[in-house]
Structure 1
Amino acid sequence: MIPASDLRSGKTHKDENFPVASWVIHPRHRALILAFYNFVRTADDIADHALLEDSAKLALLDELEADLVGQGDSQPEAVALRLALAERAMPPRHAQDVLTAFRMDVNHRRYANWDELIHYCSYSAMPVGRFMLDVHGESKDTWPASDALCAALQINNHLQDCGDDFRDLDRVYIPDDTLARHGATQADLKAAKASPALLSCIHDLAARTETLLNQSDLLAVHVADARLGCEISVIHTFARRILALLKVRDPLGQRVHLSKLELVGYSLTGLAGGLWRRATGGAPLSRSTPGA
């Protein structure tokens, strides 16, 4: 079997649109978080690989999972995460859930409605937040708000990259019924500029994603670990700004990503806001399920 590391895109945690094990997080957690990231990034790059057959992608994802649970030792990223989890006596559940999403990326490239998209996010995004909470020993009461935030981040990313996803990967994460409701088609995603119908569809989904962010608004206040709370506040600030761009811009023809300078600026804004909100408190967490 091909070493999964040979298929990496070259993207690292420093290239993401959100902080990964930043200096805000306590040093004792960073090695485990980076092991998780490297495992997930490797699996993601396999699922997105332009030259691999689908059968080869699925076989590699299965091998990563086998090594993760101790049934092999051929893939270094899986072995590294397995050992890091073992040091904390943590199960591999969240990493396994993310592998399910990458198998879906190979086998299931269209989504009929919002509920199907949220179901995908329950494997592609929500386990990442739950992993971070578990690493910090947080209560499962924080999971619903975290799920909402992670789903919003995922859908933001889908909208930002909707043209590239269709052209390069033949994937459409914009639900079929939303396209139809606005009179748009999947073919509109090939254009250099969004049609009025597609633009209306994207702005509609961005507005709906705002509901998810609202459900996660107090997560940074209610996690017990102050450093994690500040990190969440930064991520939430990024998500709000990207969402603001998606509500008014065309991701096919305009910039809807944050620049390096903007990332620094909004990091400071989010950090200051997180510290202030933790100092002043907030309302109880909502236990509602993402998907409204």
Structure 2
Amino acid sequence: MTTASDLRSGKTHRDENFPVASWIIHPRHRALIMAFYNFVRTADDIADHATLPATEKLRYLDLLEAELLGNGDTQKEAVTLRRAFAERGLPPRHAVEMLVAFRMDVTKLRYENWDDVVDYCRYSAMPVGRFMLDVHGESTATWAASDALCAGLQINNHLQDCGKDYRNLNRVYLPRDALAASGATVEMLAEAKSSPQLLACLQGLAVRTASLLDESRALAGDVKDFRLGLEISVIQAFADKIVNMLKVRDPLSERVHLSPVELLLQSLGGMAGETARRATGRRPLSKTAAGA
């Protein structure tokens, strides 16, 4: 019998735009984080599968959820995560919420406005941050800043991959109203280079995403766990660098992903900044406040 594992794309945690269970995180958390990642990666690959019919995608996603909740033992990623949650006494709610987004990927190809996209991020991205905070025993008071960071990361990814998503999946996360306001059309995403209208739309969305990321700037300092604070500072640095690229580059024709050198530099800078901030007791400033 074909299982969800057989439908994996081959993409691993090393291929993501952000660190997953990196060496920064305490070793006691890594097995659970990797179990969560593998479950989510499997579900994501099912939703994006090039040839699997939509009905079969939804069936596999339902099966993953059922086995995550204890009904069966045939899907290893679900069973592994279920057992990892049980060992730590954590509920499966964040993984279950992410399945909502993957079902949306199967059934919803267009988004009307910014709020519609952020609502998608509520299920596709925000549960990841909330899961990480729960794993580390952090307060739910940190969720708002975490939600902003996760949504910013997700929308960065939407902008980076907008051409590929349209060509390969006929999926467009760019809001219809933003495209219309710039005089752009969905069909422009099929071109090798953005038209002036599409580029104006993409860069305008990048500016809006940068404002969203500004709302998350206090998160690294608000968490109690020092290692988690370092990890968040690195992820924030990655997100800031990428959104700054997206403000001035064309994702259809120019590089908008971080090179290995840029990844290293942003990692070192993020960790050094957070270490210094904690040592001196300074609060992180938003870019708006810093420039005031």
Structure 1 and Structure 2 fold alike (TM over 0.5): yes
Q: Do 1:219 and 1:285's aligned partners in 2 also have CA atoms closer than 8 Å? A: no
Partner-residue secondary structure (3-state), 2:248: coil
Shift of 1:281: 3.1
Contact 2:237 2:266 in 1 (8 A): yes
Q: Does 1:264 align with 2:264?
A: yes
Q: Distance in 1 between matches of 2:285 and 2:102?
A: 30
Find the counterpart in structure 2 of residue 199 from structure 1. Answer: 199
The answer to whether the 8 A contact 2:67-2:73 is kept is yes
TM-score computed with the length of structure 1 as normaliser: 0.96
How many Å separate the matches in 1 of 2:162 and 2:276? 36
What one-letter code is carried by the residue in structure 1 that aligns with 2:219? L
Paired position in structure 2 for 1:290: none
| Runs of 4+ with >4 A deviation | 282-286
Give the aligned partner of residue 27 of structure 1. 27
Quick check: 2:159–2:246 contact (8 Å CA) kept in 1?
yes
Match of 1:137 in 2: 137
Q: For 2:43 and 2:170, how far apart are their aligned partners in 1?
A: 18
Q: Which residue of 2 aligns with 1:47?
A: 47
Q: Give the deviation of 1:280 after TM superposition.
A: 2.8
- Using the size of structure 2 for normalisation, the TM-score is 0.96
Contact 2:277–2:283 (8 Å) recurs in 1: no
Distance 2:277 2:184 in 1: 41
Within a 5 Å distance, the mapping from 1:223-262 to structure 2 comes to 223-262=223-262
Maintained 8 Å contact 1:142/1:285: no
Percent identical among aligned pairs is 67
Find the aligned partners of 1:18 and 1:284 in 2 and give their Cα distance.
21
Q: Secondary structure at the match of 1:247?
A: helix
Cα distance in 2 for residues equivalent to 1:160 and 1:173: 11
CA contact (8 A) 1:69 1:82 kept: yes
User: Mind listing any 5+ residue stretches in structure 1 that lack a counterpart?
Assistant: 287-292
Mind listing any 5+ residue stretches in structure 2 that lack a counterpart? 287-292
The separation in 2 between residues aligned to 1:64 and 1:2, in whole angstroms, is 13
Q: Is the 8 A contact 1:152 1:209 kept in 2?
A: yes
Work out whether residues 25 and 231 of structure 1, in 8 Å CA contact, stay in contact via their aligned partners in 2.
Answer: yes
Q: How does 1:183-194 map to 2 (within 5 A)?
A: 183-194=183-194
Q: Which residue of 2 aligns with 1:99?
A: 99
Contact 1:112 1:177 in 2 (8 A): yes
Instruction: Decide whether the 8 Å contact of 2:111 with 2:172 is kept in 1.
Output: yes
Q: Tell me how far 1:278 sits from its aligned partner.
A: 2.0
Matched residue type, 1:3: T
Alignment of structure 1 residues 49-88 onto 2, 5 Å: 49-88=49-88
In 2, Cα distance between the equivalents of 1:91 and 1:53? 31
**1:168 — aligned with what?**
168
How far apart are 1:284 and its partner, in Å?
9.1
Does the 8 Å contact 2:221/2:284 carry over to 1? no
What letter is aligned with 1:175? Answer: P
Q: Which amino acid in the other structure matches residue 237 of structure 1?
A: A
Q: Shift of residue 195 of structure 1?
A: 0.4
1:110-129, aligned counterparts within 5 Å? 110-129=110-129
For 2:5, the equivalent position in structure 1 comes to: 5
Compute the RMSD of aligned alpha carbons. 1.3
Contact persistence 1:237–1:270 (CA under 8 A): yes
Q: Which amino acid aligns with 1:263?
A: L
Query: What is the Cα deviation at residue 260 of structure 1?
Result: 1.8
C-alpha offsets along residues 243-270 of structure 1, whole Å, 9 cap, x if unaligned?
A: 0100000000000001122212211111
Q: Secondary structure at the match of 2:38?
A: helix
